[in-house]
Amino acid sequence: MNFRIINYILGWVLIIEAAFLLMPFFVGLYCGESSATAFLIGAAISAAVGTLFVIKKPKDTVFFIKEGFVAVALSWIALSTFGALPFVISGEIPKFIDALFETVSGFTTTGSSILSDVEALSHASLFWRSFTHWIGGMGVLVFLLAVLPMAGGSQMHLMRAESPGPSVSKLVPKTQYTAIILYGIYILLTIIQFILLIIGGMPIFDAITITFGTAGTGGFGIKNDSIASYSPYCQWIIAAFMVIFGVNFNVYFLMLLKRFKQAISGEEFRTYLGLVAGSTALIAYNIYKNCNMVEGTLRHAFFQVASIMTTTGFASTDYEIWPSFSHVILVLLMFIGASAGSTGGGIKVSRIILLAKRARQEIRHYFHPKRVTKIHLDGKVVESEVIKTTSAYLITYVLLFAASVLLISLNTADTTTAFTAVAATINNIGPGLAQVGPTDNFGFFNAFSKSVLIFDMLVGRLELFPMLILFNPNVWFSKRIKKNI
């Protein structure tokens, strides 16, 4: 295990975070808020610790997938820990476990909150909460790869550990150029949404923070009613961009190359849009009798489908009052999630497609035991390794989910609350149902339950295995690791 390169990566992550922390400092300074000092102190601490790690560059800068997974997992833990400091220093979230929960929820683009009154926060803190969504949406390690050349082909191990989906590929031969293209698309879409919200009359600060939350599919609002008080035009724009950011970014890359037919013909893309359209139609039909307004019914149905499926977590209305049929659809969408290679969470549409095809293949095998069949996706044969890792992912996911629900149930007598709290955090959604619904928060949980949910948010954002590898003794104590890799 190359611990020196891991420390070096951690150092640069903290230095980058220090630079990011200066942005809410300037926001607070502009607004004349005393909390601005807390962000300056947080930036100084993060920069100081990061500098200690990067003073001496390691001679051996090559690392393998195990180092990549460990570096990514530790980077996200460090990022969240140091990012929580300003909340504690300013006194706006005095308990560290609460500040850590809020920050992890931000960086993992979950959107679950322990706050009962977000409007009581300073502009600096509101900006930082939303900005963590934007940072975490594409991934801080992807940003690091875009600005800092590292270790040649080893860079792909970092991107593979941080990027969502059953498989990760380069858009162009060099990993650094892939990272630059991804961030370029990300920034462009962010700017377009911001401009459209400004056109709709949304205040500049609101437009910036809401756009950050939409782009990262995070869901932190700056109002206690989330998005409900904004105009129908703004709600339509936000809903549309939630869907846009839930699309695999490879689709937009192909569009930039003017390969439109290839971009829109993918199975995942078509299935994703089909699920959004179908779920919207079913929920709209189900709630129409309670609403009796065609535009309002369609808008709220589309908004909540987009919000839940892309795991953003914004709310345009209190969907807890909807019929149970609509609740079931939303819960199912929680698990399906967005597309692989997007900023959304969940199991991912591509994995659902692969698992469905694997089930069909197994059923056919009973009728034709000697027949050899291959699973295809977008006309290409899916490698057996991808099928194996997808199956392993699902098994691990179910076990972690069940264990988390069991642990959370020690802190609440409400089964719906325990189940949807875990679903909302491990799928990086934000709100659930019952006591953690769209008008409630996670503040009532004790420190132990919050720790479990913090772990769930991290393990969900990093696709399970990078976080789980940290608990493997071989990573830290085996003398044969380097030789065997």
pLDDT confidence of residue 368: 80
pLDDT for 162-176, tens place per residue? 555 555 455 554 566
pTM of the shown model: 0.89
Q: In the predicted model, what is the mean pLDDT of residues 374-394?
A: 84
Q: In the predicted model, what is the mean pLDDT of residues 278-293?
A: 85
Percent of the chain exceeding pLDDT 90 equals: 55
Q: In the predicted model, what is the mean pLDDT of residues 121-138?
A: 93
pLDDT for 15-68, tens place per residue? 999 999 999 999 999 999 999 999 999 999 999 999 999 887 777 666 667 777
pLDDT for 138-156, tens place per residue? 877 676 665 555 544 455 5
Q: How far apart are CA 444 and CA 408, in angstroms?
A: 12
**For helices 175-199 and 123-138, what crossing angle results, to 10°?**
140
R_g of the chain, CA atoms, integer Å? 22
Q: What is the largest CA-CA distance in the chain?
A: 74
pLDDT for 213-252, tens place per residue? 999 999 899 999 999 999 999 999 999 999 999 998 889 9
pLDDT confidence of residue 152: 45
Q: How far apart are CA 165 and CA 179, in angstroms?
A: 16
pLDDT confidence of residue 367: 82
pLDDT for 90-121, tens place per residue? 999 999 999 999 999 999 999 999 999 999 99
pLDDT for 309-345, tens place per residue? 999 989 998 888 899 999 999 999 999 999 988 888 8
